[in-house]
Amino acid sequence: MSVFIPKEITLLRIAFLSFSVVVSALSRQSVPTQGDIMVSHASPEYGAAGDEFVVLFNATDGSIDLNGFEVKYITAGGTTGSAGRIFSATTIIVSRSHLLLATRDTVRVGSVEVLRDVSMTTGMAATGGQLVVRETASPTNILFALAWGSVTVYAAGMTDAAAWSGDGMLTLTANETTYVRASYNGPNSDYTHIAAAAITEIPSSATAPLPVQMVEFSAASIPQGVLLRWRTATEADNAGWEIERRNVGMMESWTKIGFVEGAGTSTSPREYSFVDATPSATRFAPSAQRIAYRLKQVDRSGAFSYSGEIEVELGLAPEAFSLGDPYPNPFNPETTIEFSLAVPGHATMKVFDVLGREMATLFEGEAESGRAYRRSFNASRLSTGIYIVRLESAGLTAKHKIVYIR
């Protein structure tokens, strides 16, 4: 019996990161189904002829036994090749972990030297072919597949890239010989070519988990309140974020105001947003008000960490002729636009299509200075497309483009 449990090591990083998540050993073993096992890395020839490796990834929350399944190379012409491995004994991949199959005891490529987990036979062609993870007794039961080069006959169980319903079927141009999957949750196109000399990391069962890596966190005042945006480069076992707020300078403790679900495990960039509507009612107070926000990132295990703090000022009443940014934009079917005037007078705010035809009047009448006017635009009866919001008053004009997507 072979059991592969991640151990903590120093993790090297490349542009497209890979990861595993340490969980309690051998909990909830199961037989894999389509999409449970993914090919995260594959190299038909990373050095000399016969230098080949494949990395499998358990994308589920439980341990998986590979007994009765196989990793098999199929030629570009559809013939079953010799390369791969048949799992004929219990072989466990722990939840969110990797398994490195290689033809050599040690994979030496680029700046990497890593011991393989299990052996595989050689025979993959660098110029083109297919790699399938399938049930040995029922070869058409394919769990995952990828292809590179020019494939003329696809393996039994799939006809071509368009017809393949699995998550991993992909045709690649073999301009390099190592293919790295950039996202475990994204589309089939999330592979990239990495030159062998540029490889700095190959995951195995010993690869340590990556933490959530946040690359941006911002706050901005909008008509609905305060808009928080943040972006991650990678996530590992991420349950989500608790959003916390406090008033600056008032000796307040942090208060949880919401929760945004995370992507779980991902190595592709992810974008998130949250609107705090509470401050909108007092955003034009007699004096400026500063509000601080932070994010509490929570793992599925219950562990957590905090982001840095950011502040936004809810200022005094507006004193300028201004047409605010519509939010949301693009929208479906409704967006909100805010405007203000520097001097009182007659004002109009209308929506036009790109041909200049008037679609709606959002405001027409006398408007006070120093006051924010907010109007909603519902486009449910219109066609998908680009529209223009135009504000006019006292000879001044302001415009914003909005995009309606049904």
Q: Is the same domain home to 164 and 276? A: no
In a domain, 204, yes or no: no
CA–CA separation, 143 and 135 (whole Å): 8
For position 344, what pLDDT does the model report? 87
CA–CA separation, 215 and 237 (whole Å): 18
pLDDT tens by residue, the chain, 406 residues: 333 322 222 222 222 222 222 222 233 456 787 767 888 788 887 777 788 999 998 877 678 899 999 999 999 888 998 899 999 998 988 877 889 999 999 988 777 889 999 999 999 988 778 888 999 999 888 888 777 777 778 777 754 443 433 333 333 333 344 544 433 333 444 455 666 667 777 888 887 555 677 767 888 777 778 889 888 877 877 889 999 998 887 767 889 999 999 988 776 778 899 999 876 444 444 455 778 899 998 887 777 778 878 888 775 555 678 888 888 888 888 888 888 888 888 999 999 998 889 999 999 999 888 777 888 898 988 888 899 999 999 888 888 889 898 8
In a domain, 203, yes or no: no
For position 160, what pLDDT does the model report? 43
SS (H, E, C) 266-279: ECCCEEEEEEECHH
Structural domain boundaries, residue 326 = 322-404
In a domain, 217, yes or no: yes
CA–CA separation, 285 and 282 (whole Å): 6
Q: What backbone phi and psi angles, to 5 degrees, belong to 198?
A: -95, -5
Q: Exposure pattern of 365-389 as b/e (b: 16+ CB <10 Å)?
A: eebeeeebbebebebeebeeeebeb
Q: Is the same domain home to 29 and 61? A: yes
Q: Is the same domain home to 328 and 308? A: no
Q: Is the same domain home to 6 and 128? A: yes
Q: Is the same domain home to 218 and 80? A: no
Instruction: Report the CATH number at residue 218.
Output: 2.60.40.10
Query: How deeply is 124 buried, as exposed, middle or buried, from its count of CB atoms within 10 A (0-12, 13-18, 19+)?
Result: buried
In a domain, 355, yes or no: yes
In a domain, 207, yes or no: no
CA–CA separation, 97 and 95 (whole Å): 5
In a domain, 205, yes or no: no
For position 61, what pLDDT does the model report? 61
Instruction: Report the CATH number at residue 385.
Output: 2.60.40.1930
Instruction: Report the CATH number at residue 106.
Output: 2.60.40.1260
Q: How many domains does the chain have?
A: 3
CB 127 within 8 A of CB 70: no
In a domain, 208, yes or no: no
CB 296 within 8 A of CB 212: no
Q: Which of 314, 330, 359 is the last residue of a domain?
A: 314
Q: Is the same domain home to 42 and 65? A: yes
